[in-house]
Structure 1
Amino acid sequence: MQEVRCQAADLQGRFEQLAGLQGHFHFAQRKGYSGVGIYTRHEPSDVRVGYGCGEFDPEGRYLELRFDTPTRRLSIISVYFPSGSSGEERQLAKFRFLDNFHPHLMRLKAEREFILCGDINIAHSQADLKNWRSNQKNSGFLPEERAWMTKLLHPTDPTGGLVDVYRHLKPHTTDECYTWWSNRGQAYANNVGWRLDYHLATPALAQLARTEHIYKDQKFSDHAPITVGYELAL
């Protein structure tokens, strides 16, 4: 989960566990802001809250659960990338986050397998948003943001190599791929959406992905949850 917007006291006695799953969280220092979480039925061998960045860790953007055994080093990660839609200052912060976060992912990829589940706040390609022509100068579809994603996903670039798991399973879908809709106008009713939510995985784990689903039966957020089923035993 991303952008949970709560503090530990808000969850106490209510949401530490759900449906037999144990919750782990990274809360923002600022109340009512950001925050990420992961629920799991397996006990992690280690929990990493933040990724060691003095600027962005206080915003509650990164949680990593490690499930290490003698034969496997596996991480499940929840990340909430900054949005730059509120103005130039936050867009510059978003660029700083991208520059800072990329080396972290590359170091992690060199050490272990992982699946990153995140609100990345970037639509990578024209197929990932309805009105791509009119959004080329808007945050979330800027050329610099898309180039960052392209580099991250390049299969042979040593500074890339991650896999967009949804696109691995559904390479050609357009209108059905969206996970976010503006609250303005009739964006949801007209399916004027963006694909901002991703599973990014190391290649070996991406090959274990079997099913994908974007849940739209109920609308309870401006985002729709994305589920990927992996043939993976912990």
Structure 2
Amino acid sequence: MADSLRVASVNVNGVRAAFRKGMGAWLETSGVDVLALQEVRADDSHLAELFGEEWHVLHDPCEIKGRAGVAILSRVPATGHRTGLGTLDAQERIQSSGRWLEADFELGGTPITVVSNYTHSGEVDTPRQEAKWAFLDAMGERMTELADACELVAIVGDFNVGHRELDIKNWKGNVKRAGFLPRERAYFDRFFGARGETIVGVDGSEGPGFGWVDVGRRWAGEVDGPYSWWSNRGQAFDNDTGWRIDYHVVTPALGERVADYRVHRYPSYDTRWSDHAPVVVDYRA
């Protein structure tokens, strides 16, 4: 794992259910070195049983049993790890449990941090959306801390926001819904804006850019998608009416090391083992 690193991220929508539907077979042929999971919804013992001794497991379950949960599995043990977003107050900290897990590794002798992130889905004009705002605020603060502390950082996972119109097939029908609200998208305008420059968000707000890189958009270019989540309703998957809400968000130095990016879209609806597809990126030393 020292000379290159294949990092995969996927919201498994319950890891035990995903394995029953075929996740294990995918993993065996994936060549993944580090696997970041969201919505694990399981105990440590379940992960140990499913993945076996060849994988080193870090897991932050949600304090509310049966919800959320993030994990990072790796072929070699992490050199350190941290959970939660420390800038949140006592009540908001509970809402970050099972949603943020950092793990440290090495890439070609250089430290690299991988974060498994599961941002709140939110719901307009409800406490769920307030929790999402607090989480996004805390994420921004932590991004600055991470970038200052380590040259190579990848925050991967389910961000539950489609940044641009290219990221959602039916964007016109979702501009007033959580996941594509202008205020949500403005966070991402700043995340990916030039560091230190004043960025005007899609909602008209202004703030400093963070300077991070959206690997998926840089790699794919100005095209629709590639989508990573499809509703189970109707023919969304078959018609590729999806959302790109699963990201690899990386520091500029790591962005220069991307060798390949791909969304492992399932061959057909009935071969899916989650409503999200794995997003896999190869980083070179």
TM-score w.r.t. structure 2 length? 0.75
Q: 2:46 aligns with which of 10, 35, 47?
A: 10
The aligned residue for residue 39 of structure 1 is 73
- Judging changes above 3 Å, is the alpha-carbon distance between structure 1 residues 228 and 63 closer, same or farther for their aligned structure 2 residues? same
Secondary structure class of the residue paired with 1:109: helix
Q: 2:194 aligns with which of 155, 166, 187?
A: 155
Check whether the contact 1:119–1:196 (CA below 8 A) recurs between aligned residues: yes
- In structure 2, stretches of 5+ residues that fail to align are 1-36, 197-207
Check whether the contact 2:47–2:57 (CA below 8 A) recurs between aligned residues: no
Q: 1:209 aligns with which of 230, 248, 258?
A: 258
Secondary structure class of the residue paired with 1:212: strand
Secondary structure class of the residue paired with 2:105: strand
The aligned residue for residue 162 of structure 2 is 123
The one-character-per-residue Cα deviations of 1:28-60 (angstroms, maximum 9, x if unpaired) are 111110001111112221111223244245531
Alignment of 1:103 onto 2:141: yes
* C-alpha separation in 2, matches of 1:68 and 1:123: 31
Check whether the contact 1:84–1:139 (CA below 8 A) recurs between aligned residues: yes
The aligned residue for residue 83 of structure 2 is 49
* C-alpha separation in 1, matches of 2:119 and 2:251: 19
* C-alpha separation in 1, matches of 2:220 and 2:149: 28
- Kindly state the Cα deviation for residue 87 of structure 1 after the two structures are TM-superposed: 6.2
The aligned residue for residue 21 of structure 1 is 55
- State the superposition RMSD in angstroms: 2.1
* C-alpha separation in 2, matches of 1:87 and 1:10: 36
Q: Between the two structures, name the one with larger relative contact order (CA 8 Å, sep ≥ 6).
A: 2
Length, aligned pairs only? 229
Check whether the contact 1:106–1:159 (CA below 8 A) recurs between aligned residues: no
The aligned residue for residue 65 of structure 1 is 103
* C-alpha separation in 1, matches of 2:227 and 2:220: 12
- In structure 1, stretches of 5+ residues that fail to align are none
* C-alpha separation in 1, matches of 2:61 and 2:195: 36
The one-character-per-residue Cα deviations of 1:45-102 (angstroms, maximum 9, x if unpaired) are 1111223244245531111111269x63321110100011486221111111111221
* C-alpha separation in 1, matches of 2:135 and 2:83: 16
- Judging changes above 3 Å, is the alpha-carbon distance between structure 1 residues 156 and 105 closer, same or farther for their aligned structure 2 residues? closer
Secondary structure class of the residue paired with 2:50: coil
Check whether the contact 1:27–1:59 (CA below 8 A) recurs between aligned residues: yes
* C-alpha separation in 2, matches of 1:174 and 1:102: 26
* C-alpha separation in 2, matches of 1:159 and 1:95: 18
TM-score w.r.t. structure 1 length? 0.90
* C-alpha separation in 2, matches of 1:204 and 1:59: 29
* C-alpha separation in 2, matches of 1:220 and 1:85: 26
The aligned residue for residue 199 of structure 1 is 248
